[in-house]
Amino acid sequence: MPKVELLSDVTGSVWKVLKSVGQTVDADEPILLVESMKMEIPLVSEKPGKIISIAVSEGDAVTEGQAIVEIEI
């Protein structure tokens, strides 16, 4: 099955992880929230799939373009 890496759209910190490894997600379903400049930006998958890895935890700093989640589609 093909895999897709989801990248952070912004530099900030992981505010809340909403899903865990092994769970399935629908297209446009939030997986985690990144806080940047007091805004919460959701990280979503463009396609449905199964989460196979999450490289961050709540409170971790992330940079724009950083690979955060890997999904099997």
Evaluate whether 9 touches 43 at the Cβ level (below 8 Å). Answer: yes
Q: What is the pLDDT of residue 1?
A: 80
The CATH classification number of 3-72 equals: 2.40.50.100
Q: Which residues of the chain have pLDDT under 70?
A: none
Q: What is the pLDDT of residue 35?
A: 98
Q: What is the pLDDT of residue 25?
A: 97
